[in-house]
Amino acid sequence: MKSYKIAVIPGDGTGPEVVAEAVKVLEAAEERFGFRLDKTWYDYGGDRYLRTGEVLPEGAAEDLKQYKAILLGAIGHPDVKPGILEKGILLHLRFALDQYINLRPVVLYPGVDTPLKDKGPEDIDFVVVRENTEGLYAGAGGVLKKGTPDEVAVQESINTRKGVERCIRFAFEYCRRRNKGKKVTLCGKTNVLTYAFDLWERTFHEVAKEYPDIQTDYAHVDATCMWMVKNPEWFDVIVTDNMFGDIITDLGAMIQGGMGIAAGGNLNPEGVSMFEPIGGSAPKYTGKNVINPMAAICAGQMMLDYLGEAEAAQAVEAAVRRAVSENLKSLSAGRMGYSTTEVGDLVAGYVRG
């Protein structure tokens, strides 16, 4: 039987609850489709940090390289200063494992409520390919004369040809694989960020030449946000840098129904990839069995697809689609008409068939 070594990091707050349901659904898929996820659990997160004083133990990223994929719950603890865990765990792993793509499908499933008027599932179906290891996330910069009236703080966006090219290439390849497979839109700010997006634009046009079957388009980041709200049907695959990707994928999450359903993959196609629901740790709902685990289940679904278990991935997607269209009253915590564990049972049941 095919077997994949997987690391599971439930993390903070409601992370463990939603990961448990994702694992429940994955187990149903394993049984039905005859493969095995060989899971190792890690306690990385805020509690461990508060207990031990270290965000991650030494060699953590190195150790995680033995796995094919990582399933992550949520990082963020009310007693830890914001930034420490995000930088120390989430961003650290993205960088150390060279997960250079952040892949965020923005799909409105039938039955899910979008805040947009007159838009339905046929209008909201695109993917954002976000560069995930460079740009403003490099952590480069500094501060001069801190705390004085003359203080200057500098933050640098660093973009390499290699980093930009592999991201853009991924976007074109992904576009080919997608059913629609029509168009890649570069989202940037060429008229202002003339150094960074000159590199992006040149690379985009060069790589595009290798994909004559795929249309190309360009939109400034400000315009992209407008069209995502007004004409989301214009988009197929959007490729962009780390910071703009962060912004437009959250906007994307909202138009596809919110944090209850949005999942993403931090991909290193040649290494270890990490899948996560993109909502936070939602501490106020912890332990109440009310949080929506659907986003974590979708992260699991993306992981299956990535592992090459396409049939299993399709079955999970179909099960999620069925549950949100036939059963769930809402995607919001406490208003689903089902508890967290019941949603897991429901989707797992549909996967079993």
Tokens 């500098």 label which residue?
Answer: 154
Among 20, 60, 96, 199, binds a second copy (CB under 8 A): 199
Residue type at position 338: Y
Distance of CA 353 to the CA centre of its chain: 28
> Is 162 one of the binding residues for a second copy (CB under 8 A)?
yes
Backbone angles phi, psi at 340, to 5 degrees: -55, -50
d(CA 217, CA 237): 10
**C-beta of residue 249 within 8 angstroms of C-beta of residue 264:** yes
CA-wise closest residue to 104 among 275, 325, 330: 275
CA-wise closest residue to 266 among 92, 107, 59, 135: 92
Q: Which is nearer to a second copy, 77 or 189 (CB)?
A: 189
Is-catalytic flag, 198?
Answer: no
DSSP code at position 234: G
Among 18, 91, 291, 302, binds ligand IPM (CB under 6 A): 91
Count interface residues toward ligand IPM (CB under 6 A).
8
Q: Which is nearer to a second copy, 68 or 130 (CB)?
A: 130
> Is 208 one of the binding residues for a second copy (CB under 8 A)?
no
β-pair partners for 220: 188
Tokens 């939603």 label which residue?
Answer: 18
Q: By rule CB under 8 A, what string of x and - marks binding of each residue 220-249 to a second copy?
A: -xxx-xx--xx------------x--xxxx
CB of 124 to ligand IPM, least distance (A): 19
CB of 114 to ligand IPM, least distance (A): 20
Among 9, 69, 90, 347, binds ligand IPM (CB under 6 A): 90
Is-catalytic flag, 87?
Answer: no
Q: Shortest Cβ contact with ligand IPM: which residue?
A: 86
DSSP code at position 135: B
> Is 281 one of the binding residues for a second copy (CB under 8 A)?
no
Q: By rule CB under 6 A, what string of x and - marks binding of each residue 143-182 to ligand IPM?
A: ----------------------------------------
> Is 149 one of the binding residues for a second copy (CB under 8 A)?
yes
Q: Which residues of 220-257 are buried (b: 16+ CB within 10 A; e: fewer)?
A: bbeebbebbeeebebbbbbbbbbbbbbebbebbbbbbb
| SS3 of 69-97 | EEEEEECCCCCCCCCHHHHHHHHHHHHHC
Question: 226: Cβ–Cβ under 8 A, 6 or more apart, which residues?
Answer: none
Residue 130's CB is within 10 A of a number of other CB atoms, namely 27
Is-catalytic flag, 350?
Answer: no
Among 54, 62, 151, 326, binds a second copy (CB under 8 A): 151
Is-catalytic flag, 113?
Answer: no
Selecting among 12, 236, 241, 246, the annotated active-site residue is 246
Catalytic residues: 137, 189, 222, 246, 250
Interacting residues with a second copy (CB under 8 A)? 82-83, 86-87, 91, 114-118, 136-137, 139, 141-143, 147-162, 189-196, 198-199, 202, 221-223, 225-226, 229-230, 243, 246-251, 253-255, 258
Interacting residues with ligand IPM (CB under 6 A)? 86, 90-91, 191-192, 222, 246, 278
